[in-house]
Amino acid sequence: MNWMNAEETLRRAETPLFWVGAFTVASLALWLLYRLLSGFRIWVLGNGQLLSPKLGKWAVVTGATDGIGKSYAEELARRGFAMMLISRSQDKLDDVAKSLEDQFKVETKTIAVDFGKMDIYQKIEAGLAGLEIGVLVNNVGVSYAYPEYYLHIPDLDNFITNMINVNMTSVCQSKVLKSPFVICVFLRSKGVILNISSASGMYPLPLLTVYSASKAFVDFFSRGLQEEYRRHGIIIQSVLPFFVATKMTRIRKPTLDKPTPDRYVAAELATVGLQGQTNGYFPHAVMGWLTTKLVPINLVIFFGAQMNRQQRTGYLQRRKLREQRNGQRLKSE
């Protein structure tokens, strides 16, 4: 009798269980299809036509003389933007400006300022006054000379102040955001702000703790600001690259997962308007998904710390050898 009751119960449950299973499979299939179509839209089709001088005649790039910043300046000039270049060295600014003028036949202007200082923003505001700005790339940034424990960082107080000023204040300083750029894009209800963060800001990175935290600020600030001003027609994108072959990363030989700045920027600009937060480059997006969705955060932090400890040890050993060689040379002289 009990067997008959169990069989009858299973028979009655068969149909509901079938529909639950069918619904689950259909939901997963639709989710997978959506993700594949979204990935195809972002990483294959892209949104390459969005960034054009129709947004505004001028593009502004900070940290424009090296690495990713220089590549942004070159790519935006290639698309026809007049370029405002902002960086620390006037000589380097002049070289990049001349190169853009010769190669792309665009108008350029420059502002030489040190973003580690706080008395620079009136100069920037005056230099931007009257320009119809369509794109602002907040790229300027500074990192560690080598991975180091927080309390062992040389000249810690000045190090912290400089990193906050360069990596954080430069992104949210009101004189840049309010006048004239945002006023200009509000009036025209169009414009793009690209805030260059880092994959280091996606999770804590020991021995690069201040840098990681500063880049996490850029990411959170950008995403919050995007939600605040989305309805105004302004695109504010948080860009979180992994390693790119630049002077800052000290990577000399590009690879698939460590692209040249030109390759990275070309891929990243195709995501503007499609992703509010982006790793900017398909292999980096895969790395970002793996490290945030599949791998437990504690493991990511642990392996990041191990990698940086090894780099710290190697750097200090090389520095000690250089000091020994220099000492021996001075004795021989």
- Residues annotated as catalytic (active site), given as ranges: 211
Closest to 135 in 3D by CA, of 180, 88, 181, 175: 181
If you write DSSP's letter for every residue of 197-254 in order, what string do you get? --GGGSS--TTSHHHHHHHHHHHHHHHHHHHHHGGGTEEEEEE-----SSTTTT--S-
**Residue 40 vs residues 45, 221, 264, 270, 271: alpha-carbon distances, Å:** 6, 28, 18, 12, 11
Q: How far apart are CA 292 and CA 193, in angstroms?
A: 25
What letter represents residue 30's amino acid? L
- Cβ contact 60:179 at 8 Å: no
Residue 18 CA to residue 110 CA, distance in Å, equals: 67
Closest CA to 268 of 288, 252, 286, 285: 285
Residue 269: helix, strand or coil by DSSP? helix
Cα 297 to Cα 303: distance, rounded to the nearest angstrom: 10
Three-state DSSP at 278 gives strand
